[in-house]
Amino acid sequence: MDNQLQSWIEALCSGDVRSLARAISLVENRGQGAYELLKAVFPHSGKARVIGLTGPPGAGKSTLVDQLAHHYRRAQRTVGIVAVDPTSPYTGGAILGDRIRMQSHHADPGIYIRSMATRGALGGLAHTTADVATVMDASGRDVILIETVGVGQDEVDIVRLADVTIVILVPGMGDDVQTIKAGIMEIADIFVINKSDREGAERVEREILSMQSLASSSRKNGADAWTPPIVKTVASEGKGIAELGAAIEKYEAYLAQDNRLLAKTTHNWETRLTEMLRDAVLERVVRARLGDGELARCAAEVAEHKQDPYSLVEKMVSAYVKA
């Protein structure tokens, strides 16, 4: 490792915010030396508590993250926030809103906020987010909060990087609870019903409870199985935050037993390694075999049935991967 990189990493691991910012930018842009940095940083990571928050657009995720950040700061714990800015039209204006809301932290170096755009990331978003979290972790942040919009598989994947996954729902979603349950219901370690000041919070709670009872009767749960608790919050007023903090702590205690955290992390790494491998191979093949527009040309040939896709993929891969 060259000296420059070494002193950069030393500064980063001692908590220097400018080194952290530089490292995150490099990792996010996948700039030259990004992997070198990640390799060097990884051994210093693994100490932070990573908490993922997901839920539909506008559910109050940023407000809740903001409140949780304050909650942990009161306990003298340092916080890193990764906000994945969705490109969805719903949230075109929310990014600015996030910045304004999060300004309340700006005076506090104990909170470091980074927002990331989902734009243009080809399958790499989950990795980039994970890598940014790793860098924050290595820099000594005690708690890392990751906000994503839980509407698609990508977001589910991102949240799988977390030790604790919080799924946020709001009243008035109607049948939406049913619609989204397939994607994000199973990943919740804790449910939050935010905007509980609005009508219908009880109804959402009932729906979650009935889904949970369905799930537990169809599954052979051990007596020690975790049933995600439901916490009602009014994030904009800071209500329910202490209860949420307590629910997180309870889940952490659960994870600490019987090697559960290690088992969970191992499971997460299995998924991540598979994805990393897939991307690495894909990148090699794409970069080596396919020049500009080549993939589009191949796609056109397949679409016109001039080529079969099976032979095509076989040919591309076999040139680089020896059987």
The entry of ligand GTP, Mg ion, none that residue 33 binds, CB within 5 to 8 Å by partner kind:
none
Q: What is the spatial distance between Cα 284 and Cα 28, in angstroms, rounded to a whole number? A: 20
From ligand GTP, Mg ion, none, interface partner of 165 (C-beta below 5 to 8 A by class): none
Q: Minimum CB separation from Mg ion for residue 62, in Å?
A: 3
- Binds Mg ion by CB under 5 A, chosen from 19, 54, 62, 148: 62
CA atoms within 13 A on the CB side of 89: 0
* Rounded least distance, CB 188 to ligand GTP, Å: 16
Site of interaction with ligand GTP (CB under 6 A): 57-63, 91, 94, 97, 149, 194-195, 197-198, 234-236
CB-based closest residue to Mg ion:
62
Residue corresponding to tokens 């950040």: 69
For residues 10 and 118, give the distance between their C-alpha atoms in angstroms, rounded to a whole number: 30
54 lies in the site for Mg ion, by CB under 5 A: no
Minimum distance from CB of 234 to ligand GTP (Å)?
4
Instruction: Report what 149 binds from ligand GTP, Mg ion, none; CB cut-off 5-8 Å by kind.
Output: ligand GTP
Q: How far is the CB of 72 from ligand GTP (least distance, A)?
A: 17
Close Cβ partners of 228 (under 8 Å, ≥ 6 residues apart):
167, 188, 189, 190, 191, 212
Residue 12 or 235 with smaller CB distance to ligand GTP: 235
Residue 196 CB, shortest distance to ligand GTP, in Å, is: 7
**Least distance from Mg ion to the Cβ atom of residue 61, Å:** 5
Cα separation of 73 and 79, whole Å?
Answer: 7
Instruction: For ligand GTP, give the closer residue by CB, 197 or 301.
Output: 197
Q: Which whole-number Å values give the CA distances from 127 to 53, 79, 109, 237, 314, in the listed order?
A: 17, 20, 26, 34, 26
Q: With CB cut-offs between 5 and 8 Å by kind, which of Mg ion, ligand GTP, none does residue 59 bind? A: ligand GTP
Q: How many CB atoms lie within 10 A of CB 63?
A: 22
Q: How far apart are CA 24 and CA 313, in angstroms?
A: 34
CB closer to Mg ion, 45 vs 62: 62
| CB-count exposure of residue 106 (10 Å: 0-12, 13-18, 19+) | exposed
Q: Which residues here bind Mg ion, judged by CB under 5 A? A: 61-62
